[in-house]
Amino acid sequence: MHTSTKLRIPTSQQQQLDAAIMDGAHRSPAARPPAPPRSKMKLLLLVIATNLVSVYLFSGASLSLRLPAGAAAPSIHLWDSSALLRDLGATRAALAAARAEVAALRAQCNASSLLLESVLAGLGAAHGDKPAAADRGFDGWPEEPTGELRLATEPHRLPLGFSAKLGTDELHPGVGFACRNFQDELARYMAYDAGGECPDDADALELQLILKGCEPLPRRRCRPRSPARYVEPAPLPGSLWSIPPDTTVNWSPYACKNYTCLVGRARARGGGGGSYECKDCFDLAAGGKERRRWMSDNGGPGFSIDGVLASRAPGTVRVGLDIGGGAGTFAARMRERGVTVVTTTLDVGAPFSAFVASRGLVPLQLSLAQRLPLADGVMDIVHAMQLGGWVPGAVLELALFDVYRVLRPGGVFWLDHFACVGPRLNDTYAPILDRVGFRRLRWKASRKLDLGAERNEWYLSALLEKPLT
Ligand SMILES: *[C@@H]1O[C@H](CO)[C@@H](O)[C@H](O)[C@H]1NC(C)=O
Ligand SMILES: *[C@@H]1O[C@H](CO)[C@@H](O)[C@H](O)[C@H]1NC(C)=O
Ligand SMILES: *[C@@H]1O[C@H](CO)[C@@H](O)[C@H](O)[C@H]1NC(C)=O
63-77, 82-96, 166-180, 344-358: range with highest mean pLDDT? 344-358
Mean pLDDT, residues 52-74: 46
- Pair 54, 108: CB distance under 8 Å: no
Q: What is the pLDDT of residues 306-332, one digit of tens each?
A: 999 999 999 999 999 999 999 999 999
297 or 126, greater pLDDT: 297
Ligand in closest contact with the CA of 445: 3
What distance in angstroms lies between residue 109's CA and the mean position of ligand 1's atoms? 9
CA distance linking residue 207 with residue 254, whole number of Å: 12
Residues 6+ apart with CB under 8 A from 191: 148, 199
Does residue 62 register a pLDDT over 80? no
Bridge partners, residue 197, by sequence: 223
pLDDT at position 204 is 82
pLDDT at position 4 is 40
* Any ligand 1 atom below 6 A from CB of 440: no
- Pair 219, 192: CB distance under 8 Å: yes
Q: How far is CA 176 from CA 184, 207, 403, in A?
A: 15, 14, 20
57 or 431, greater pLDDT: 431
pLDDT at position 45 is 60
Mean pLDDT, residues 369-377: 94
Q: What is the pLDDT of residues 81-129, one digit of tens each?
A: 777 778 888 888 888 888 888 888 887 877 777 777 766 665 655 565 5
Nearest CA to ligand 1 atom 1: 110
Nearest CA to ligand 3 atom 2: 426
Atom number of ligand 1 nearest to Cα 104 = 13
- Pair 256, 350: CB distance under 8 Å: yes
What distance in angstroms lies between residue 448's CA and the mean position of ligand 3's atoms? 14
55 or 298, greater pLDDT: 298
* Any ligand 1 atom below 6 A from CB of 6: yes
pLDDT at position 405 is 98
Mean pLDDT, residues 230-247: 95
CA distance linking residue 249 with residue 203, whole number of Å: 12
What distance in angstroms lies between residue 343's CA and the mean position of ligand 3's atoms? 32
CA distance linking residue 104 with residue 266, whole number of Å: 79
pLDDT at position 43 is 58
Atom number of ligand 3 nearest to Cα 458 = 13
Mean pLDDT, residues 209-214: 89
Mean pLDDT, residues 74-82: 59
Q: How far is CA 100 from CA 59, 64, 104, 184, 353, in A?
A: 17, 10, 6, 50, 66
What distance in angstroms lies between residue 268's CA and the mean position of ligand 2's atoms? 15
* Any ligand 1 atom below 6 A from CB of 107: yes
Residues with CB under 6 A from ligand 2: 256-258, 260-261
Mean pLDDT, residues 177-189: 89
Does residue 290 register a pLDDT over 50? yes
- Ranges for all domains in the chain classified under CATH 3.40.50.150: 298-324+368-465
Atom number of ligand 1 nearest to Cα 107 = 13
Nearest CA to ligand 1 atom 13: 107
Does residue 149 register a pLDDT over 90? no
pLDDT at position 247 is 95
CATH 3.30.470.20 at 298-324+368-465, yes or no: no
What distance in angstroms lies between residue 51's CA and the mean position of ligand 1's atoms? 22
Tell me which residue of 72, 64, 71 sits closest to 89, measured CA to CA.
Answer: 71
Ligand in closest contact with the CA of 459: 3
What distance in angstroms lies between residue 256's CA and the mean position of ligand 2's atoms? 8
Mean pLDDT of the chain: 80
Does residue 65 register a pLDDT over 60? no
Mean pLDDT, residues 145-159: 84
What distance in angstroms lies between residue 428's CA and the mean position of ligand 3's atoms? 12
CA distance linking residue 296 with residue 281, whole number of Å: 17
CA distance linking residue 353 with residue 286, whole number of Å: 22
pLDDT at position 68 is 45
Q: Return the DSSP state at 197.
A: B
Under the banding of pLDDT at 50, 70 and 90, the label for residue 141 is: confident
* Any ligand 1 atom below 6 A from CB of 76: no
**The Cα angle at residue 457 between residues 451 and 458, in degrees rounded to 5:** 125
Nearest CA to ligand 1 atom 2: 110
378 or 47, greater pLDDT: 378
What would the DSSP string read from start to end of 268-321?
STT-S----S-TTTT---TTSHHHHTTSS--SSS---HHHHHHTS-TT---EEE
Residues with CB under 6 A from ligand 3: 422, 425-426, 445, 458
Mean pLDDT, residues 219-232: 91
Does residue 161 register a pLDDT over 70? yes
- Pair 116, 20: CB distance under 8 Å: no
Of the listed ranges 187-196, 233-242, 351-360, the one predicted with least confidence:
187-196
What distance in angstroms lies between residue 113's CA and the mean position of ligand 1's atoms? 11
Atom number of ligand 1 nearest to Cα 110 = 1
Under the banding of pLDDT at 50, 70 and 90, the label for residue 21 is: very low
pLDDT at position 435 is 95
What distance in angstroms lies between residue 353's CA and the mean position of ligand 2's atoms? 21
Mean pLDDT, residues 355-370: 94
Residue 224: CB atoms within 10 Å = 12
* Any ligand 1 atom below 6 A from CB of 172: no
Ligand in closest contact with the CA of 3: 1
What distance in angstroms lies between residue 445's CA and the mean position of ligand 3's atoms? 8
Mean pLDDT, residues 345-362: 94
Mean pLDDT, residues 442-463: 92
